Amino acid sequence: MAGRMEITLFLILAALLIGISKGGLGGPVPGSMAAPILTLVMPAADAMGIVLPMLLFADLLALRLYWRKWSHHYLRLLLPAATVGIISGTLVLLILPDASLRRVIGGFTLLMIAYKLIGDKANAWNYRPRAWHGSLAGWGSAFGAALANSGAAPFTAYMLLQPDMQPRMFVGTATLFFFLINALKVPGYLGGGVLQFDRIWPIAWVFFLIPVGFSIGYLGLKRINAQLFEGLLLILLALLGLILLSS
């Protein structure tokens, strides 16, 4: 059982990583570390319940920055199937015992890394868009987000393959999409006891660190070598995934 000081340090780290991710530095990688890190010091379901409101708060900060920069076309393709993904992912989260859930989170973490290693070559593929591709990406992203907070890979793969995708549109669409995904996770998390406000109030102070991380991420885009930073995070993320798989 982790001590109070250890849990506090991990909460601080998770909040900063979520803020850095939503600020833009490292893309989805820093935020994807939050839940795996917390599972090292608490039950996996508790970690998911704590991370969700932190993500929603960070999403609101990001929405202000990218307001109306999203694509309604791609959101209409992604969201219907994403709703099904949220339901199915939440059901699996509620059914799995803690040890199995840790391994699933570890597996999703390593899956995300595998995507990142080949993602830069996505635009070189001879790809022809199909409407059902959006449905599949929406379901996969929502399922991974509901089950293990690792839903960025299917969404990112799909969006980067679209011929009309621009950086600002990509970030704006991702910001609104994952805000909606996280908001839709709330009823299932509440009903299943994953999200419990009596666990959130004692650590409400950690939310004040998310804007700090957001500022670090936003300013760091201009001053830090983003590829080097992301590479270091991927190494740490791989270690976390392996630790969880072997737990």
- Tens of pLDDT, residues 83-103: 999 999 999 999 988 888 888
Domain range enclosing 87 = 4-245
Mean pLDDT, range 58-84, rounded to an integer: 92
CA distance 16 to 13: 5
Sorting pLDDT into bands at 50, 70 and 90, what band is 180? very high
Tell me how far apart the alpha carbons of residues 165 and 185 are, in angstroms, rounded to a whole number: 27
pTM beyond 0.95, yes or no? no
The number of domains in the chain is 1
**Residue 194 CA to its chain's centroid (Å):** 17
d(CA 197, CA 204): 10
Asked whether residue 16 carries a pLDDT value surpassing 90, the answer given is yes
Share above pLDDT 70 across residues of the chain, in percent, rounded to a whole number: 92
Residue of 174, 172, 175, 182 lying closest to 158 (CA atoms): 174
**How confident is residue 166, by pLDDT bands cut at 50, 70 and 90?**
confident
3-state secondary structure of 66: coil
Q: What is the mean pLDDT of residues 27-49?
A: 86
Residue 115 or residue 34, greater confidence = 34
H-only helix segments in 96-225? 98-119, 131-148, 152-160, 167-191, 197-200, 209-223
Q: Does 111 have pLDDT greater than 60? A: yes
